[in-house]
A and B are shown apart, each in its own frame.
Chain A
Amino acid sequence: MKEVDARGFSCPMPVIMVQKEVKAGAPDELDVLVDEKCAVENVTRFAESQGYTVTWEEKDDEYAVHLRK
C-alpha cells in the first residue's frame, strides 16, 4: 500500500502531496501521515471530494489518515 509521509509539512503541502498521488494513478488505498489536526481535516476534505472514504487515528501527537475507495 502507498504511504505519504507529510509529517512536518504545513498546509497546503499535505494536500498537494496527496493530490500528486491521486493524479499519478488514484490508488484504491493510501495512508497519509501528518502531525497537525488541521492537515487531517484538509486531507479528509480533499480525499472525500475525490471519492475516498476516510478514517484516521492519533498516536503520539501524530495522525495516520487512511484513504480507501
Chain B
Amino acid sequence: MAGQAAGKKKRERGKNVKKNWFANNWLILVTGVVIGIAAVVLGANGNPGNMGFCIACFLRDTAGALGLHRAEVVQYFRPEIAGIIAGALIAAVAPKEFKGRGGSSPVLRFVLGAFVMIGALMFLGCPLRMVIRIGGGDGNALVGLVGFIVGILVGVVFLKKGFTLGRAYKEGAGEAAALPVVYILLFVLCLAVPALFFFSEKGPGSLRAPIILALIAGLVVGVLCQRSRMCMVGGIRNAVMFKDFGLVAGFLAVIVTVLVGNLIIGKFNPGFTGQPVAHNDGLWNFLGTALMGWASVLLGGCPLRQLILTGQGESDSAVTVLGMLVGAAFCHNFKLASSGDGPTGNGKIAVIIGFVVVLIISLLYTRKAAKES
C-alpha cells in the first residue's frame, strides 16, 4: 500500500513538473513558432533562400548599404534589424527593463563581435539562419550545428573555470539609447533619402521582402525575443550547464516551424548541394560555426540576443553589434566571406586567427577571474 501511495505521489509530481515546464516556457515556444513563421513568410515574399532572417547577413547587408564595404551584391539597409532593435526597445520600456548598463570589457566585446561575424560569414549565416537552413533541408547547416555545439562546449569549459569579461555598471540614458536611436534614425533617413545609401541590383542584397512586411516581422520578433529572452547560444549553454531546456526548446520550435512551413509551400529541399546562399565545404562550415559559437558564449549571447540587449540599453551589446558591423565590412573588404562557390583562402586564415584570438581572451580572462576569487 505504502509503495502504491509513493508511486502515485511520484506520478503526480512528474505531472506537476511537466505542467510547470509548459507554464514556464510557453512564451519561448510561441517565440520560436512566430520566428519560424516570419522566416518562411519573408523567404516566400522576396528575401534570399533560407534567409527569412539572418542577423549576420542582414548586418553585413546594412554595412554595405552604409558604404562600409563595396561588395555590390550584398548592400541593403535591412528593415528587419531596425525592427528587431525597435521592438526590443518598445518591449523593454513598460516592464522598466530599459536601462543603461555597460563597461564590461567593451573593446574585447568589439573584437569578439567582429570574429563572430567572420565565423558566421565563413559558414554563411548566424545561428538563427543556421536553424532556418536546417528547416529548409540544407544538410550543410547540420554540419554547422555540430560545429556550433562544439564551439559552445569549448566556451562552457572556460565559463566553468571562471571566465568572465568583468562587471558592468549603471550608465545614463544617453549611453543606453545612443545606438538604438542612431540605428533607427539611419533607417528613417534611408527611407527618406535612399540615394544616400547603396542598394544591390543583383545578388542576395537585391532579394528583399517588402519594407513594411520586413519591418513588422522585425518588430514582432524583437518584442517577443525581449520578453522570452530567446537566445540560440543560451539554449545549448543552459541545457549543458544547468539542465535547463527552456531556451533550447525555442531553438527547436524554430526548426520544426520552418520545416513544416517549407513543406506546406513546397520549398523543402533536402541535400548538401545546390542550397541557396550556402557552400558544402564541411570542414570550414564546421570551423566557422565553432568560432561563432565559442565567441558568442564568451559574449553571453548569440547575434540576435545582442540586438535585443542593444534595444534595451546594454551598451556592451551595442559595442558588440558595432564590432559585428565592422567585422562584416572587413569580411568583404578583405575577401574573408564565403560565397556559394566555397570559402576563400583569406577567410580560412581569418578564422584561424579568430580561434587564436578567442583562445587568448578565454585564457587571460579565466586566469584573471581565478586570481580575483
Contact = CB atoms under 8 A, between A and B. Distances in A.
Interface of A: 7-13, 15-16, 19, 35-38, 41-42, 45-46, 49, 61
B241 A16 contact: yes
Contact of B300 (A12, A46, A61): A12
Interface string B91-129: 000010101010010000000000000000000000000
Nearest to B164: A13
B170 A61 contact: yes
Given A12-B241, A49-B242, 4 more contacts: A10-B168, A37-B97, A41-B229, A46-B242
A10 B242 contact: no
Contacts of A13: 164
A12 B159 contact: yes
A62 to B, nearest CB: 9
A11 B24 CA distance: 18
A7 B243 CA distance: 24
B237 interface: yes
Contacts of A36: 97, 101
Contact of B244 (A16, A38, A46): A46
B275 to A, nearest CB: 33
B167 interface: yes
| Closest A-B pairs by Cβ, 5 of them | A8-B167, A10-B300, A8-B168, A37-B97, A46-B242
Contact of A11 (B166, B170, B234, B316): B234
A11 B300 contact: yes
Interface string B159-181: 11000101111100000000000
A8 B316 CA distance: 11
Given A7-B167, A8-B104, A61-B99, A38 B229 contact: yes
A39 B95 CA distance: 15
Interface string B314-330: 10100000000000000
B222 interface: no
Nearest to A7: B167
Contacts of A45: 24, 244, 246
Contacts of B160: 16
A37 B92 CA distance: 11
B269 interface: no
Nearest to A60: B170
A41 B237 CA distance: 16
A10 B101 CA distance: 10
